[in-house]
Each structure stands twice: as C-alpha cells, then as structure tokens.
Amino acid sequence: MTRPASGRFEGKTAFVTGGAAGIGREIAKALLAEGARVAICGRTGMSLDRARRDQSGDILVLEADVGSEHGVKEAIAQVGAAFGRLDVLVNNAGIDSFQDISDFSRDRFRAVMDVNVASVFTATAAALPLMQSADAPAVVTIGSIHGTLTTSGRADYVASKSALIGATRALAMDLAPHGVRINLVSPGAIETPMLLRGWAKKAPDIDPETLKARAGALHPIGRIGGPEDVASAVLFLASDEAGFITGTELMVDGGLSCKLAMTTLWDD
C-alpha cells in the first residue's frame, strides 16, 4: 500500500526506538516521507547498516540498547544534541518471548520487562525536557494484541504488553500538565521478521505461507497486517489531527479482537 505524503510532519523531529527493522523501520520511513527529521536507534548489526544505507531523508541512526537505562538516556541525549527539540517519540523497541511457566526464568522475565516496559518510562522521562519546547508533542508506544488476548506459553511477554495499557493511561495524566500526549498502538498479526520467527518456534514443520494464509482467514478483514498498517496508526496519533486524544489504546488487528472464537462453530 502506497501512503500519499501530506507533509503533516514538515519541520518536526521524531525519535523511533527500534527503528531499524520491522514495524519501527516502516514508522521511520513514513515519518521521513511526511517531512520529519527522524532519529532511530537499534542494536549494532546488519539492520542498522541497512537503515543508514536505505532510508532517504534527514535521518540520524544511533546504536543503543534500550534494555539499558544508560543506553536509552544516551540515545535521547544524542537526539537532543542533533535536533535541539523533539516533537514525536515512538517507543517501538521490543523483544518477543516464548517462556512456558514450567521453564520460567526471572532473568529472562527481567530482560523482557526492561526492554518492553522500563525503556518506555526511561525514554519518555528523558525526552520530556526536549518535548516541552515543541508545539504539540506526542508520544506513541507500540504494544500488542497480547496485552488483551493471548495464547499459552507467553506469560512474560503478555505481562509486559498488559503493563503498557495501564502505563499509557497513567502517563497520560502525568504528561498532560506538560502539554504532552501519549497513546498506545496495539498491533495484531503483522508480517515482520519477529512474527515469522515466532511462528517458526511454535510450528517449525508448517510452511510460513501456509501459516500466513491460515492466520489471514481468521481475521474479519481476511488478511494479516503489514508494518505500513501500524505506521499509519502511529502517524495519526502523533499528528495534530489527534490533538484531543491521549491515554488511549488503538487496536490495529484487522478486527481479530472483535471476533468470538466460537463463531467458527457454525461454519461449514
């Protein structure tokens, strides 16, 4: 799907954590196309190199581990040094986890919570001084359908994404006096490398295209999503068009969360 550029973010600055691949890469691409100056961060590796090479526009590529408090703060400091202000913060970085309770590891749990939850608080707090100089600053965090509906063997990941729902509501209250809005986008099945890796773990003997077709058939819309579907939602919530929206969760899931599983009982 080609998104027509409208220049909604002309003259604005944005920072996308985990912006080198998957959903984050598409969000950064969309913001650049809309005229924003964009900083992204990710861990060292091929995805960062590709982002430096492939993304067009005014982009700053940073190496940072958002699981580290120091890493997050240092990245925000570099954004401030480069841009002098920040209009949009997208807390996108996250890690997946398939940890059955019988194999529970507190270290793994902490790692998931550090990246998926603590980084959101750290980045938002560190960015606040930069955002207060913007005209209509906005924070958008990427959650997951798993914050509300889930499957077995994912309790640590689900705990992290459920925490973001409450955190978004509470942070909306804390940030409002500073003139900053915050909202949560919770994607469903989005075709990304992370999703395909997860499917490979759950069903290693089934072809990914077969799984994609099966998953699409479960959605009322009839397909799984693409990163551009999430990016469109993020751009809306970060834009002035959403100026009266804060503390809310937007499900981007093709209607999956509306569907009662037993509706298939009457299918032929």
The residues annotated as belonging to the active site are: 157
Cα–Cα distance for residue pair 128/9, rounded to 1 Å: 19
Map residue 143 onto helix, strand or coil.
Answer: coil
Length of the chain: 268
Q: Distance (Å, rounded) from C-alpha 267 to C-alpha 264?
A: 5
> To which H or E segment does residue 15 belong?
strand 13-17
Could you tell me the two tokens for 169? 């509501």
* Residue 118 CB neighbours (<10 A): 18
Q: Which two structure tokens, joined as six digits, stand for 147? A: 């914050």
Rounded CA-CA distance 38/27 in Å is 10
Looking at residue 120, its amino acid is V
Q: Looking at the DSSP assignment, which residues form a beta bridge with residue 148?
A: none
- By C-alpha distance, which of 33, 24, 156, 136 is closest to 91? 24
The token pair that represents 210 in the structure block: 């077969």
